[in-house]
Amino acid sequence: MDKKVDKPLGDKAYLSALKQAHIELVKLQAWVKHTGAKVCIVFEGRDGAGKGGTIKAITERVSPRTFRVIALAPPTEREKSQMYIQRYLPHLPAAGEVVIFDRSWYNRAGVERVMGFCTEEQAKHFLNVLPGVEKAIVESGITLLKYWLEVSPEEQTRRIEARITDQRKTWKLSPMDLKSYSRWFDYSRARDEMFTATDTEWAPWYAVHSDDKKQARLNIIAHILDSIPYEEVPHEKIRLPKRQKSDGYEEPVFARHWVPNVHL
């Protein structure tokens, strides 16, 4: 297991490295569209581990039409009656797409199991059949990458407390987060059993320490880029065309309402 990094990454170094990572992600996007590749990325981890920030870092400079983020709401009554993984399957990537799951079918192995939203029998059945399902996904031509973000209990506490006190973050805090916060070791046991059952040769788990969010984001992006054999797609040199002549056009006062310029 990789050791935690004690020295935090500075803003300047982070932004410089992130800029280069974004350039490569744009190249990856062009390659995915050009070749019709299909990529599925799953993000799991403890509450406050930094999944959302990592996904934002990945998608900040790419097209949402190519990089689709899936964060499903709780299942409807109809969906509860379906085969568990059924509601996730329609969201898998088609040709030319990268689909990112902000939490995924692994909800059953984590929060649902720990918080009692499914039975132990259902959770164990899920873990038993899932490797076969993921093998079928991979054999269909989808590149499947699974990331687990691991945060220390001390850092998790700091982040969740920030959600209570920082009005920019209060939307991130739900009653379920507070209930699950106290069950650290239940989540540890569920994580351990999930890894044992689903860390397969065709769909391995990749874990990352995320106490330093910046390093975790950069390391994950680098791993994604290293895991996909993309190449830069040749393109013609772009030349900006000349703008047409006005032919006598004079711009009127076309708008009756303007946004007030309050930040001078």
218, 157 in Cβ contact below 8 A? no
Give the pLDDT of residue 173. Answer: 82
Give the pLDDT of residue 2. Answer: 52
**Structure token digits, residue 163:** 């959600």
Give the pLDDT of residue 6. Answer: 59
Which residue ranges of the chain lie beneath pLDDT 70? Answer: 1-6
- Between CA 111 and CA 180 the distance in angstroms is 8
Give the pLDDT of residue 169. Answer: 86
Q: How buried is residue 32: exposed, middle or buried, by Cβ count under 10 Å (0-12/13-18/19+)?
A: buried
Give the pLDDT of residue 132. Answer: 98
Q: Specify the pTM.
A: 0.91
- Between CA 74 and CA 91 the distance in angstroms is 15
Q: What angle, 0 to 180 degrees and rounded to 10, lies between the N-to-C axes of helices 184-198 and 120-139?
A: 40
Name the nearest CA neighbour of 151 among 51, 258, 71, 42: 51
Give the pLDDT of residue 9. Answer: 84
Q: Which helix (H) or strand (E) holds 216?
A: helix 213-227
